[in-house]
Structure 1
Amino acid sequence: MKEKILDKATEMFLTLGFKSVTMDDIAESLGISKKTIYQHFKTKTALVEASVFYLFDSICNGIDFICEASHNPIEELFHIKKFASEYLKDDKSSPQFQLKKYYPKIYERIIWKQFEVMYDSVKENIKKGVDTGIFRPEVDVDFTSRIYFSGMVSIKDTELFPSDIYKPSDIAEKFLEYHIRAIATEDGLKILNEFINENNN
């Protein structure tokens, strides 16, 4: 039952927002009493926290699978972006920004976990790109990995990038292209342009 509650709560939080979904809403959606939820999660904040880390683990597992299966570092970044955007329902809401606004302590904990994972992942991606001649060997890997993380967090800020002007999935694509163009070799740029052309047709 605990996992069913977690699954449903996570889905509702992502679709409708962390603030607007109540314990009553989750109970009604599952056809159980609110008391049953409280047996597993003492407060809504506890459920939000559990949902956030449950989601984080699920996304990390998906990204690991993509990294193992990818053909080159550029495709890998685009596939990760697509997977994360779809999983987080980015076109419907901005869960990360909602979390920061309404549950700042949980946000602070998850953002550092995200940094640890993304920092290592981007470093590996850049190293693979350098080894295969796709990314420039003089790229400062540590600096670029930190800037990439910083940018990915910033584009979720709906005050900086209002959703009526910037569609979340589009802005993530723009940022990813910006990142790759900054570090790619001539061969890398050819791969990037081919990938963009293939996926825009």
Structure 2
Amino acid sequence: MKEKIKITATELFLNLGFKSVTMDDIANEMGISKKTIYTHFNNKTALVNEVTSSLFCVISEGIDLICAAEKNSIEELYEIKRFVMEHLKDEKSSPQYQLQKYYPKIYATLKKKQYDVMQDCVKDNLIRGVHSGVYRDTINIEFISRIYFNGVTGIKDNELFPLKEFSMNTLMEYFLEYHIRGICTPKGLETLNKFITTNQSS
């Protein structure tokens, strides 16, 4: 039952937001009593903590598998973007922004874990990209990996990028192109243009 509650809560939180969804909403969605939820989770904060931790693990494992395939570095970034968007339901309710606003301690812990995982992944992507000739060999790996993380988290700021004007999927498309254009070689640009053309036609 605990796992079923987590799955339902995850769906509701991602689609409607961490703030909007109440324990009553989760109970009604599942057709169970609120008391049943409280036998597994002391309060909503505990449930949010479990949901975000589980989601983080699923996404991290998926990203690890994509990275292990050692595809072309540019292709890898697009594959990761697609995978993350799929699992976060395109972030229609800007969950990260709501998490930061209403559950700052959980957000801070999660951000630290995200940074640690992403640094390894992004640095590896950059190093392989340089070796394969799609990224310039003059880039500073440490700087680019940090600015990439800052950009990925920054575009989720709802005040800077209102969802009414930009969908999360669109923002990620823009950001990826912006990031790759800044570091790629003419060879890399050819690969990037293929992805831009494909995404525009799909």
> What residue number does 1:127 align with?
127
Q: In 2, Cα distance between the equivalents of 1:198 and 1:118?
A: 26
Q: Which amino acid in 2 is paired with 1:50?
A: E
Report the CA distance between 1:39 and its aligned residue: 1.2
- Superposed, 1:13-32 pairs within 5 Å as 13-32=13-32
8 Å contact 2:14–2:91 — kept in the other structure?
no
Residue 79 of structure 1, CA deviation: 1.2
Deviant stretches of 4+, over 3 Å:
none
User: Is residue 48 of structure 1 aligned with residue 42 of structure 2?
Assistant: no
Amino acid at match of 2:72: N
In structure 1, stretches of 5+ residues that fail to align are none
CA distances 1:38-76 after superposition (whole Å, capped 9, x unpaired): 111101100001101111111111112222335311011
Q: TM-score, normalized by length of structure 1?
A: 0.96
SS of residue matched to 1:24: helix
Local SS of the residue matching 1:90? helix
Contact kept? 2:27, 2:34, Cα under 8 Å: yes
Partner of residue 59, structure 1: 59
Per-residue CA deviations over 1:129-187 (Å, capped at 9, x if unaligned) read 01111111121111100000000111000101112222221111111111101111111
The 1:91/1:3 distance shift into structure 2, 3 A limit, reads: closer
Corresponding residue for 2:172?
172
When the two chains are superposed, the root-mean-square deviation of aligned CA atoms in Å is 1.2
- 1:33 paired with 2:20, answer no
CA distance in 2, matches of 1:199, 1:155: 20
Q: Percent identity?
A: 57
The match for 2:184 is 184
Separation in structure 2 between the aligned mates of residue 71 and residue 108 of structure 1, nearest angstrom: 32
Query: Can you give the 5+ residue segments of structure 2 that lack an aligned partner in the other structure?
Result: none
SS across alignment from 2:160: coil
Find the aligned partners of 1:70 and 1:29 in 2 and give their Cα distance.
Answer: 41
Could you tell me how far apart the structure 2 residues matched to 1:91 and 1:9 are?
A: 15
Please say if residues 15 and 92 of structure 2, whose CA atoms lie closer than 8 Å, have aligned partners that are also in contact: yes
Aligned-pair CA distance for 1:28 = 1.7
- In structure 2, distance between residues paired with 1:114 and 1:54: 13
Q: Distance in 2 between matches of 1:31 and 1:167?
A: 32
Distance in 2 (alpha carbons) for counterparts of 1:196 and 1:70: 21
Matched, 1:118 2:118: yes
Aligned length: 201
Give how far 1:95 is off: 0.4
